[in-house]
Amino acid sequence: MLIFRGSKIALLLVVIMVAAIASTGCGGEKDSGTGLSGTVKIAGSTSVQPLGEELAEAFMDQYPDVNVNVQGGGSSAGIETAKTGTADIGTTSRELKDEEKGYGLTETIVAKDGIAIVTNNENKVTDLTMEQVAKIFSGDIKNWKEVGSQDGPITVVVREEGSGTRGAFEEIVLGNAKIIDTAIVQNATGAVKTAVTKDVNAIGFISLGSIDSAVKTITVDGSEPSEENVINGSYKISRPFIFLTANEPSEATEEFIKFVLSNEGQDIVSEEYIRVNN
């Protein structure tokens, strides 16, 4: 009797699994006549991941037999996986370091991303100079009234060390100055946004592609972080999104990169990021 009960549970599990497998099968197979097939595994920067997902979806609509898998892991992981071949394409959202350039990977810049300075919606400030931004993040300016806004101690929210967004921000805005060490550290764009949304005195920096009405975008030296301003150079805080490939990528991988750089691919890029072919 007991064995029978046990097997009932087992049976239930099997049914669930079979149903799951069946549904995967249905979702994955479509008819196609393009001939191109295979898997493209993309890993790396979580900043590039959303764009990668969009591009992959569009690409797979054209080539249903190709399976493009996009995952996170981080820029360094992206470089590492491209080097070892764990992924077909490694993505990074920061420039390669000198030692990493020695790995002999092919770099393709597929998009650019502006880094926007954001505050709480209740904050009265709308524009800051580059110098003010630098002073706020390095702790020389401590109160919002010093830049003509409400009286309140500034809550600086930053990304973790090693993040591409932080790296680019430090390099372009701070130069040799250091981020104040009492800053709140968050390890993801959304977490920075949440921190800024919840605190009237907060300021942070996030990828241009992640801006929405929850936070207020600050213009820097009067210039808005828009595609146009990044391209014409008046908005200076930006960074590249790079695809890294090892020698002799597969046909599907090559085709995917070609697609990303095509007008069609770049149109998808420019929905939220900045195109690289004009």
- Which of residues 15, 28, 251, 258 is near another protein by CB under 8 A? 28
- Stretch in the footprint of another protein (CB under 8 A) among 116-124, 128-136, 207-215, 247-255: 207-215
Q: Is 100 in the site for another protein (CB under 8 A)?
A: yes
- By beta-carbon proximity to another protein, the closer residue of 41 and 112 is 41
Q: Is 86 in the site for another protein (CB under 8 A)?
A: yes
Q: Is 98 in the site for another protein (CB under 8 A)?
A: no
- By beta-carbon proximity to another protein, the closer residue of 80 and 227 is 80
Q: Is 149 in the site for another protein (CB under 8 A)?
A: no
Q: Is 69 in the site for another protein (CB under 8 A)?
A: yes
- Which of residues 90, 164, 249, 265 is near another protein by CB under 8 A? 164
**Orientation angle between helical segments 263-272 and 49-62, nearest 10 degrees:** 150
**Orientation angle between helical segments 263-272 and 251-261, nearest 10 degrees:** 60
Long-range CB pairs of 215-218, under 8 A, 24+ apart, other chains included: 215/118, 215/119, 215/120, 215/121, 216/118, 216/119, 216/120, 216/121, 216/123, 216/126, 217/116, 217/117, 217/118, 218/116, 218/117, 218/118, 218/119, 218/125, 218/126, 218/127, 218/128, 218/133
Q: Is 53 in the site for another protein (CB under 8 A)?
A: yes
Of the candidates 13, 18, 3, 217, which has an alpha carbon nearest to the alpha carbon of residue 127? Answer: 217
Min dist. Cβ of residue 208 to another protein (A)? 14
Q: Is 55 in the site for another protein (CB under 8 A)?
A: no
- Which of residues 48, 55, 87, 125 is near another protein by CB under 8 A? 87
Contact track, another protein, 239-258, x by CB under 8 A: --------------------
- Stretch in the footprint of another protein (CB under 8 A) among 62-70, 126-134, 222-230, 236-244: 62-70
